[in-house]
A and B are shown apart, each in its own frame.
Chain A
Amino acid sequence: MKKSRSVGASSSLNGLGKQDGESRRKRKMAEITQALSVSPADVPALRRMAISEGGLLTDEIRRQVWPRLLNVSVDNIPEQLETVDRDNNKDFNQVLLDVQRSLRRFPPGMPDEQREGLQEELTDIILRVLVKNPQLHYYQGYHDIVVTFLLVLGERLATALVEKLSTHHLRDFMDPTMDNTKHILNYLMPIIERVNPEVYDFMQQAEVGTIFALSWLITWFGHVLSDFRHVVRLYDFFLACHPLMPIYFAAVIVLHREEEVLDCECDMAMMHHLLSRIPQDLPYETLISRAGDLFVQFPPSELARERSQQTAVSTFKDFELASTQQRPDTVLRQRRMEQQKRTMEAQRSTVAVVQSTGRRFMRLAVMGLTVALGAAALAVVNSALEWAPKLDLLFP
């Protein structure tokens, strides 16, 4: 329904000085090429690139890096995609209805014929993944995610990546019910509370709920952002991070709009209306690093513990599974973790503590996150050894 499309509005997404920006961009391209050229590819470096300013820069790079971030081996994707039996598919009607209504997701100038062809492919990808994974259930908004992959990767690659994503990052949204999705939404207010109690109180008073953020979460903002470049930039970020990162990003958007929120009538309807309409000119790079910052300061496990909330169990399990299975450096990491464990068990010496915190601090510094990392977070990073597992999840 949002008709305003700010296509071609901003030429420089990052707001960098032109020259400075250009040389940084070149350097980043070179780094990405380097990380891709080694065997096995340097996935941690790619992850870093996807998070740091500007993300993965071009769709061409995304085609190479996104599979790595999801650990999909491109060579193993069958050339021939399975045909889809639309007639006997329980989800077909709903998928068709949503895909037909997804015109806004396609580039504005695209000829109808080409768009219709892509819509057919979109339907097929969705049905193919659902048929192959009967435990997954279609939700309205899933198509907004899949279309992004289709437009960047083409049908064949998109099918493989969407399947992986659906069994990992999106797994909770695809349960038979949306209970787990609701649990994930329940992380939103505690994050806001930590950062800005005033905004939190005001929102609580208005009883606005969290449904305004539902479409953000389950479409990775694909449903609400008009500029495709912003969408793919966010996807770079989310693909490189913990599955709960979109909820941190949602919190960051609300916090960014603090003034508007506090000026809003303290009423559920008004506030829902205000919040559910995202400004299209958000400072994405700043917000991305702030979301990373918040994730480090208030990791999900902590929020879950203190709020004694039911956590989205499958997300955690799956992601841990994914990150251990997938890394080419799994063995190394395991050894390192075992070492850490042993050190801890053996009443770790001061030296050991210093060493491991130092390493984590380094890692954060490398991520570029320290730019935005507040003093408080740094203090925590420097003192809390128990963070190791969480940071490993974020930056395996």
Chain B
Amino acid sequence: MKLEEDSMADIESSFEFSSSLTSSSLPPPRTRIFKIIVIGDSGVGKTCLTYRFCAGKFPDRTEATIGVDFREKIIEIDGEKIKVQLWDTAGQERFRKSMVQHYYRNVHAVVFVYDVTNAVSFRSLPSWIEECRQHALGQEVPRILVGNKCDLRHAAQVSTDVAQQFADAHSMPLFETSAKNPYGNDDGSRNDSDHVEAIFMTVAHKLKSQKPLILSQPPCGLGDTVTLRRQDEEERGSWGCGCWRS
């Protein structure tokens, strides 16, 4: 399923910037972009999860995310290459009000993350949901709930039952996983599939199935309104003036 991956940070060379914006006469085949924002309290493992998906491994070290970090990966679904962009956000509340807004624009899906070993992070979820609401993300935008750090079962403070009830109440699917050991084996061995990858792939499938209706916002988008556009409008509209080829 996985064609390419970018492991962010140091591997800048894996990004190939299209340098022939003007020279090609035929419009290049577009790669669709699914933009997913990842939110939740500080320390729940947002950076690790997004890194796990894009780089295929658990980072040796993470640092506090200041503002917004961006990671991406090209996937393939039914023969179509799709670029999945993950926006990894700062968890500290003060960053959210004035800083993170910009990144809610054109978001196609939302991943809420809590830490199963930290009840506070679970209790914060309503305020994260509220934040989404304030950014005028409509109900059509797929949302999922991820309980992270399941490798620390012994220290769990949030039971699956409680989390499932919450997810049901908000019509979201719940996934419990671990960015550290997404294979579900105690030794971390890789004879099973990567659960974290499966989660993000599920979101991507969901988004793909929504075609031809792709949610997006007006390109010059200072307004907060969300509009549903048809795919062909989308093609002309909102992904900037450049083109991306993979």
Interface residues of A (CB under 8 A from B): 1-4, 94, 97-98, 101-104, 137, 139-141, 143, 176-179, 181-182, 205-207, 209, 211-212, 214-215, 218-219, 223, 263-270, 272-274, 276-277
B242 and A265 contact, CB distance less than 8 A:
yes
B60 and A3 contact, CB distance less than 8 A:
yes
**A104, A273, A276 pick with most chain B CB within 10 angstroms:** A273
Q: Any chain A CB within 8 A of the CB of B233? A: no
How distant is B60 from chain A, measured CB to nearest CB, in Å? 7
Contact with A along B14-54 (1 / 0, CB 8 A): 01011101000000000001010000001100010001000
Which residues in B have their C-beta under 8 angstroms from that of A182?
Answer: 98-99
Taking A139-B95, A265-B18 as known contacts, 7 extra A-B pairs with beta carbons closer than 8 A to each other, sorted by chain A number, are A98-B42, A102-B63, A104-B61, A104-B63, A272-B70, A276-B69, A277-B12
Q: In the complex, which range does the number of interface residues on chain B fall in?
A: 35 or more
For window 62-90 of chain B, which residues contact chain A by CB distance below 8 Å? 62-70, 72, 85, 90
B69 and A143 contact, CB distance less than 8 A:
no
Which residues in A have their C-beta under 8 angstroms from that of B1?
Answer: none
B66 and A214 contact, CB distance less than 8 A:
yes
B95 and A219 contact, CB distance less than 8 A:
no
- Given A101-B61, A104-B61: A269 and B70 interface contact (C-beta under 8 Å): yes
- Given A140-B95, A177-B98, A182-B99: A103 and B67 interface contact (C-beta under 8 Å): no
Complex Cα spacing A264 to B102, Å: 20
Which residues in B have their C-beta under 8 angstroms from that of A211?
Answer: 67-68, 99-100, 102-103
Interface residues of B (CB under 8 A from A): 8-10, 12, 15, 17-19, 21, 33, 35, 42-43, 47, 51, 59-70, 72, 85, 90, 92, 94-95, 97-100, 102-103, 221, 239-244
Which residues in B have their C-beta under 8 angstroms from that of A98?
Answer: 42, 64
A141 and B12 contact, CB distance less than 8 A:
no
How distant is B94 from chain A, measured CB to nearest CB, in Å? 5
A179 and B98 contact, CB distance less than 8 A:
yes
Complex Cα spacing A88 to B152, Å: 27
Q: CB within 8 A of B61: which of A97, A103, A137, A223?
A: A103
A178 and B242 contact, CB distance less than 8 A:
no
Complex Cα spacing A141 to B66, Å: 7
Which residues in B have their C-beta under 8 angstroms from that of A205?
Answer: 240-241
B17 and A177 contact, CB distance less than 8 A:
no
Which residues in A have their C-beta under 8 angstroms from that of B92?
Answer: 94, 139-140
A1 and B9 contact, CB distance less than 8 A:
yes
Name the CB-closest residue of B to A208: B102
- Given A214-B99, A264-B17, A266-B242: A276 and B70 interface contact (C-beta under 8 Å): yes
Which residues in A have their C-beta under 8 angstroms from that of B221?
Answer: 207
B241 and A266 contact, CB distance less than 8 A:
yes
Which residues in B have their C-beta under 8 angstroms from that of A219?
Answer: 66
B61 and A140 contact, CB distance less than 8 A:
no
Give the dominant DSSP class at B's interface: loop
How distant is A84 from chain B, measured CB to nearest CB, in Å? 20
Complex Cα spacing A214 to B59, Å: 23
Q: CB within 8 A of A1: which of B8, B15, B18?
A: B8
Name the CB-closest residue of B to A260: B17
Complex Cα spacing A102 to B69, Å: 17
Name the CB-closest residue of B to A215: B66
B9 and A215 contact, CB distance less than 8 A:
no
Which residues in A have their C-beta under 8 angstroms from that of B244?
Answer: 265, 267, 270
Complex Cα spacing A348 to B100, Å: 51
How distant is B98 from chain A, measured CB to nearest CB, in Å? 5
Q: CB within 8 A of B64: which of A97, A214, A264, A273?
A: A97
How distant is B63 from chain A, measured CB to nearest CB, in Å? 5
Q: CB within 8 A of B102: which of A181, A206, A209, A276?
A: A209
B99 and A269 contact, CB distance less than 8 A:
no
A1 and B59 contact, CB distance less than 8 A:
yes
Which residues in B have their C-beta under 8 angstroms from that of A264?
Answer: 17
- Given A2-B10, A265-B244: A215 and B94 interface contact (C-beta under 8 Å): no
Which residues in A have their C-beta under 8 angstroms from that of B51?
Answer: 1
- Given A267-B239, A270-B17: A137 and B94 interface contact (C-beta under 8 Å): yes
A4 and B240 contact, CB distance less than 8 A:
no
How distant is B70 from chain A, measured CB to nearest CB, in Å? 5
Name the CB-closest residue of A to B95: A178
How distant is B107 from chain A, measured CB to nearest CB, in Å? 12
Complex Cα spacing A196 to B17, Å: 22
Q: Give 6 nearest A-B pairs by CB, closest first.
A: A215-B66, A267-B240, A265-B242, A214-B67, A266-B242, A140-B64
How distant is A225 from chain B, measured CB to nearest CB, in Å? 13
A265 and B17 contact, CB distance less than 8 A:
yes
A140 and B240 contact, CB distance less than 8 A:
no
- Given A181-B98, A265-B240, A266-B242: A3 and B66 interface contact (C-beta under 8 Å): no
**B33, B60, B63 pick with most chain A CB within 10 angstroms:** B63
B10 and A269 contact, CB distance less than 8 A:
no
Which residues in B have their C-beta under 8 angstroms from that of A143?
Answer: 64
A140 and B42 contact, CB distance less than 8 A:
yes
B69 and A206 contact, CB distance less than 8 A:
no
- Given A94-B42, A140-B92, A263-B19: A273 and B66 interface contact (C-beta under 8 Å): no
How distant is A67 from chain B, measured CB to nearest CB, in Å? 28
Name the CB-closest residue of B to A268: B240
Which residues in B have their C-beta under 8 angstroms from that of A274?
Answer: 17
Which residues in A have their C-beta under 8 angstroms from that of B72?
Answer: 269, 273
